[in-house]
Amino acid sequence: MSTPLPTFHNLRLSLSSTILILHLSNPPTNAFTTSLYTSLISALDYATSRNNLTCLLITGSGNYFTSGVDFIDQSENYNESIVKQFMLKFMNFPIPIIACLNGPAIGIGATLLYHCDYIFGSSTRNNGKRNYVLMPFTKWCLAPEFCSSVLLGRRMGVGTEMLLFGERVSIKKLADLGFLRTEPKYTPKTILNHTKEYIINNLSSHVHSRESAMLFVKLTRLKRNKDLRLEEVMNNEMKEIAKRVDRGEVREAVLKGFSKL
């Protein structure tokens, strides 16, 4: 008899073959709150304890992947220790992390993509409009987060569009640049099934797939983290965020920005 998966009020877990799926489930936009960070930390710990997984898949429920940090929650309950704990566990997770973008990925929803090993995205949203990724830090008087100052800051072109100018970048454009995978058949309602099918056919079904997957992560993402000293980068970014999170003009800019999403 299989052991029941952990349950959380803002995060749903499911299992497909050897893929553990994290469904962000904090309506209406799956915003990151202190509570969601805590749930994700517990889910990552649980996933680490399972010795039969080949990858972790993260997606959103409803119309968004995530709208990013809930600024009202974080300005009142900002807990740097919890945020840092989540980031360290996510960036150093020992098996591949796959993102499945069913809707817009904003703020930390965008920066965490640079710690994923592969990304699938629907080019459209449930309302038929273009799906996109957005890092609005400069427009909202905030600092870059989750090592984006290094992982994007050295890139010209789309990296500058996203990080310096805070422009929406469409899923199609990111696919053209090789950042993620999209196909016409990927819609917000079908992309999760297509993603699972692709992973099962091309990774999970292979002999010694877990061993091979862990070696891949060790030689790529984990080596990059060490070479670029990303934990130090993350700490420096978080110091700047802590200075700004409760400033009135920042709150005003964020609330104004959210109204335009």
Within-domain flag for 178: yes
- Mind listing the pLDDT tens digit for each residue in 4-40? 899 999 999 999 999 999 999 999 999 999 999 999 9
Within-domain flag for 78: yes
- Mind listing the pLDDT tens digit for each residue in 56-106? 999 999 999 999 988 766 655 668 899 999 999 999 999 999 999 999 999
CATH of the domain at 124: 3.90.226.10
Within-domain flag for 247: yes
Within-domain flag for 29: yes
Within-domain flag for 3: no
Within-domain flag for 4: no
pTM for the whole structure: 0.92
Q: What is the pLDDT of residue 1?
A: 47
- Mind listing the pLDDT tens digit for each residue in 167-223? 899 999 999 989 999 999 999 999 999 999 999 999 877 767 889 999 999 999 999
Within-domain flag for 1: no
Within-domain flag for 172: yes
The domain of 73 spans 11-258
Distance CA 158, CA 164 (A): 10
Count how many domains the chain has.
Answer: 1
- Mind listing the pLDDT tens digit for each residue in 232-250? 999 999 988 888 776 666 6
When pLDDT is averaged across residues 143-157 and rounded to a whole number, the result is 81
Q: What is the pLDDT of residue 164?
A: 84
